[in-house]
């Protein structure tokens, strides 16, 4: 069965969320680096601002040296995350289209008896045997088809009809039963 659909930046962000909810180490890394470290960094930077306002305790003055590091951790790391996510999306786009998060990607997806074929016209084609697929994760928006431990194809629910979803799930399940 062959399907054609488009992927959007929103689909890409939803795929990242589903990946974090499916792989606990990715979730841990995300919450530590994107939430905990910046909060700790901004807390360190806050000590410098409190010291500058004249409210100076002895231990608070010694913490003020960490203010630069705190500001960097609090602002640079989340900004770098946003930049990296956008850059990864733009790398999926074919060379012929403008590099923007407003651009959608045309995808051709085919399921044969032996393999899954995913084509990004003008960019890449991937052929994966059913038995080589690593994992499958689903939520109410899309499905992740893992080709390796940290690499996946993301397929929005709107992309396939009910027969296609049943075929995908049954082929994946039968490929797991054989191994």
Cβ neighbours of 62 (radius 10 Å)? 11
pLDDT of residue 36: 94
pLDDT of residue 43: 83
pLDDT of residue 29: 94
pLDDT one-digit tens code per residue, 22-75? 999 999 999 999 999 999 888 878 877 777 666 666 666 666 667 778 888 888
pLDDT of residue 52: 67
Number of domains composing the chain: 2
Q: Check whether residue 84 and residue 120 sit in a common domain.
A: no
Query: Would the pLDDT of 165 be above 70?
Result: yes
pLDDT of residue 110: 97
Q: How far apart are CA 73 and CA 76, in angstroms?
A: 6
Q: Which of 92, 127, 155 is the last residue of a domain?
A: 92
pLDDT of residue 166: 95
pLDDT one-digit tens code per residue, 61-120? 666 667 778 888 888 999 999 999 999 999 988 888 888 889 899 999 999 999 999 999
The CATH number covering residue 113 comes to 2.30.29.30
Residue count (the chain): 179
Q: Check whether residue 44 and residue 14 sit in a common domain.
A: yes
Segment 10-25 shows an average pLDDT of 96
pLDDT of residue 101: 87
pLDDT of residue 42: 87
Q: Check whether residue 40 and residue 113 sit in a common domain.
A: no
Q: Check whether residue 116 and residue 141 sit in a common domain.
A: yes
Can you give the residue range of the structural domain that contains 135? 2-8+104-178
pLDDT of residue 50: 72
pLDDT of residue 134: 94
What's the distance, Cα to Cα, between the start and end of the chain in Å? 24
Please list the residues that pair with 148 across neighbouring strands: 151
pLDDT of residue 178: 62
b/e code 85-108 from CB counts within 10 Å (16+ = b) = eeeebeeebeeeeeeeeebebebe
pLDDT of residue 83: 96
pLDDT of residue 23: 96
């Amino acid at each position: 069965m062959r399907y054609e659909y488009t992927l959007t930046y929103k689909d890409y962000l939803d795929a990242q969320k589903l990946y974090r909810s499916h792989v606990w180490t990715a979730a841990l890394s995300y919450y530590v680096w994107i939430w905990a470290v910046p909060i700790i960094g901004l807390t360190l930077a806050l000590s410098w601002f409190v010291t500058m306002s004249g409210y100076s305790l002895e231990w608070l003055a010694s913490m003020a040296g960490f203010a630069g590091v705190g500001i960097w951790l609090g602002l640079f790391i989340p900004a770098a995350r946003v930049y990296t996510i956008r850059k990864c999306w733009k790398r999926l786009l074919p060379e012929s289209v403008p590099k923007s998060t407003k651009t959608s990607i045309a995808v051709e997806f085919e399921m044969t008896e032996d393999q899954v074929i995913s084509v990004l016209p003008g960019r890449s084609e991937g052929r994966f045997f059913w038995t080589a697929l690593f994992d499958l994760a689903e939520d109410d928006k899309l499905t992740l088809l893992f080709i390796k431990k940290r690499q996946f194809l993301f397929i929005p629910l709107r992309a396939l009809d009910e027969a296609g979803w049943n075929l995908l799930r049954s082929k994946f399940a039968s490929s797991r039963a054989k191994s």
